[in-house]
Amino acid sequence: MSLLLDEIALATARLAEAGVPSPRTDAEEIAAYVHKVRRSELHRVADADFDAMFWACVARREAREPLQHITGRAYFRYLELAVGPGVFVPRPETEVVAGWAIERLQEMDVADPVVVDLGTGSGAIALSIAQEVGLAQVHAVEVDPDAYAWAKRNIVEHGQGRVSLHPEDLTDCLQELNGQVDLVISNPPYIPPGAIPRDPEVRDYDPHRALYGSGDDGLDEVRAVERTARRLLRPGGWVVVEHADEQGSSVYWLFPEDKGWRDVRNRRDLTDRDRFVTARLGQE
């Protein structure tokens, strides 16, 4: 095992020099991927089995290609998802958003809640809800063909029969469910035009259509989510929308009382930053 440890240490130094935020973790994840084991199982890899492919992958990560594109997998809550070029890589902060929705659904006095995930991307949120809320009827909406293909792949692997995937636009989707949905959730594009993400992994690899929102403030897609949620939800149903940490107050006011919204709240992620807004559609 000593050779492998030495190689991982060298790789960690190279990744740290390149500015990779979690160099040791990434070096170990690459080693685990190359040797087809989990990171916790690296102790099983013999020195003689060490593969030169490791260094090719390290070079890709050194160039700031996302780890998830190299390994082809992303972890989200209790799922291991297939990801790659053409789909947004799910982030840890979105796990908090999904977690709030799951807790709310589990508290509902509804045996088989109906859930809609607008702009599902890889399917991370929809699949997590289906996995953790046993009888939920989950509808995932994705209009982009590349992201749709990734979502379909993940749903076949993890959610066959539990998540329905719809190739529709979030602005006019699922008309047949108007007034019947218990919870609408979305992580829409919201970065304002002209704002450039600092991290190369995001700026250079995540699809721009999943990052940059329309309108001067980047929030036109959030406005569309508000309109669609208002149409889909039953009275008393909830909407959950992720946003950038500096957009909390702006998104809050997109769910006004005069449009029927109640209990509007801005909620924080694990770093104590504004991360998502929740609101309940008022009872008629």
Domain positions in the chain are 2-63, 85-281
Distance CA 239, CA 241 (A): 7
Catalytic residue among 66, 90, 113, 188: 188
Q: Is 187 a known active-site residue?
A: yes
100: exposed, middle or buried (C-beta count within 10 Å: 0-12, 13-18, 19+)? middle
Does residue 123 have a known ligand-binding role? Answer: yes
Residues facing 281 on adjacent strands: 261
Does residue 237 have a known ligand-binding role? Answer: no
Distance CA 58, CA 8 (A): 10
Does residue 120 have a known ligand-binding role? Answer: yes
pTM (2 d.p.): 0.92
Does residue 193 have a known ligand-binding role? Answer: no
Residue 136: its H or E element: none
Distance CA 274, CA 277 (A): 8
Does residue 190 have a known ligand-binding role? Answer: yes
Distance of alpha carbon 226 from its chain centroid, rounded?
19
> What local confidence, expressed as pLDDT, does residue 256 receive?
95
Catalytic residue among 76, 88, 255, 276: 88
Instruction: Read off the amino acid at residue 132.
Output: E
3-state class (DSSP) for residue 53: helix
Helix axes 23-34, 53-62, angle to 10 degrees: 140
> What local confidence, expressed as pLDDT, does residue 1 receive?
47
pLDDT in tens, the chain (284 residues): 467 788 899 999 999 999 999 999 999 999 999 988 888 888 777 665 557 889 999 999 999 999 999 999 999 999 999 999 999 999 999 999 999 999 999 999 898 999 999 999 999 999 999 999 989 999 999 999 999 999 999 999 997 778 999 999 999 999 999 999 999 999 999 988 877 788 899 999 999 999 889 998 999 999 999 999 999 999 999 999 999 888 888 999 999 999 999 999 999 988 888 899 999 999 76
Does residue 119 have a known ligand-binding role? Answer: yes
3-state class (DSSP) for residue 106: helix
Does residue 99 have a known ligand-binding role? Answer: no
Q: Is 50 a known active-site residue?
A: no
> What local confidence, expressed as pLDDT, does residue 126 receive?
97
> Rg of the chain over CA atoms, in angstroms?
20
Q: Is 88 a known active-site residue?
A: yes
Superfamily (CATH H level) for 85-281: Vaccinia Virus protein VP39 (3.40.50.150)
Does residue 197 have a known ligand-binding role? Answer: no
Catalytic residue among 154, 187, 255, 276: 187
Distance CA 164, CA 162 (A): 7
